[in-house]
Amino acid sequence: MKRWTTRRCGAPRVFLHGFSGAPESFERVVAELPDDRTQVAPPLLGHGHHGADSFSAEVARLANAIREADLAPAHLIGYSMGARLGLGLVVEHPDVVERATLIGVSPGIGDDEARRLRRQSDQRWIEKLETEGIEPFVADWEAMPMWASQRQLPESVRAEQRAVRLASDAAGLARAIRVVGQAEMPYYRPRLHDVTVPVQILVGQRDEKFVRLALGMQRENPRFDMAAVDGCGHNPVLERPDLIASHIVEWEGACENGCAAVQGGS
């Protein structure tokens, strides 16, 4: 588990990285945050850990890891795949979550035909990883339109991200798609109205699909907070780590002030 800070002034921050990322993917965000509390990032399935055999099993493994490391209840900060796993923790293991920041999150796929088509698409990526290896996969992955906004970034930043991807294990990434990919995620939307954990959803302003998903999630639970990150596509963690850090700090302050107000009035 990657650790940046080990102080216990507030809820520990637990960072859950995205697909083909690594715990270090949040380093530029962490550099913008105050080091006033414990900050850690565990490896996820296919990215240094390979034990779970289902989405819910990986969620349970993460919940147990948070408990065993004495990090509960934590502020979960997840991006994309990590945000989906974070949502699983919010829904299935709320005892380990004080609050959550979910960046580029999906509630899952509710339509059977859409799930079938996504599984077919995922299978093509799995086959590329297993037959061609990591370099051809990364080349094709980075060419997808969803990453177009990253062309505005300095080459050094893009090269750093590419190096993380190229250091990934092809078999591990294939396993991640097969076990915790979009097609294998439970459909959480019908359960969102029962969530009482404070949740903020962050989404890149240019990420139209995930803006729609975020608005839909907010309709299911009006207590969810939502904000669009200016000028970003699907990966605001990479594109605007400063703004992500600001949202994290503001959300912590809002939650803590709200809790204090409730306690003072009880």
Chunked mean pLDDT (size 10), the chain, 266 residues: 80 97 95 93 90 94 96 97 98 98 98 98 98 98 95 95 96 97 97 96 97 97 95 96 97 65 36
Cis peptide bond prior to 73, omega within 30° of 0: yes
Q: What is residue 264's predicted lDDT score, i.e. its pLDDT? A: 38
Evaluate whether residue 176 is within a structural domain: no
Q: What is residue 265's predicted lDDT score, i.e. its pLDDT? A: 38
Evaluate whether residue 87 is within a structural domain: yes
Evaluate whether residue 167 is within a structural domain: no
Evaluate whether residue 118 is within a structural domain: no
Q: How many whole angstroms separate alpha carbon 227 and alpha carbon 136?
A: 35
Total domains, the chain: 1
Whole-prediction pTM: 0.94
Evaluate whether residue 211 is within a structural domain: yes
Q: How many whole angstroms separate alpha carbon 49 and alpha carbon 36?
A: 28
Q: What is residue 261's predicted lDDT score, i.e. its pLDDT? A: 38
Q: What is residue 94's predicted lDDT score, i.e. its pLDDT? A: 97
Q: How many whole angstroms separate alpha carbon 134 and alpha carbon 200?
A: 34
Crossing angle of helices 81-92/170-180, nearest 10°? 40
What contacts 248, CB < 8 A, 6 or more positions away?
A: 13, 29, 33, 75, 77, 101
Question: Could you tell me if 11 and 252 are in contact, meaning their C-beta atoms sit under 8 angstroms apart?
Answer: yes
Evaluate whether residue 131 is within a structural domain: no
Report residue 203 CA to chain centroid gap. Answer: 11
Q: What is residue 2's predicted lDDT score, i.e. its pLDDT? A: 86
Q: How many whole angstroms separate alpha carbon 232 and alpha carbon 205?
A: 6
CATH number of the domain enclosing 55: 3.40.50.1820
* Arithmetic mean of pLDDT over the chain: 93
Evaluate whether residue 77 is within a structural domain: yes
Q: Which two tokens stand for residue 183?
A: 């097609």
Evaluate whether residue 117 is within a structural domain: no
Q: How far are the Cα atoms of 172, 221, 235 from residue 199, in angstroms, in the given order?
A: 30, 10, 19
- Range(s) of the domain holding residue 251: 2-109+185-265
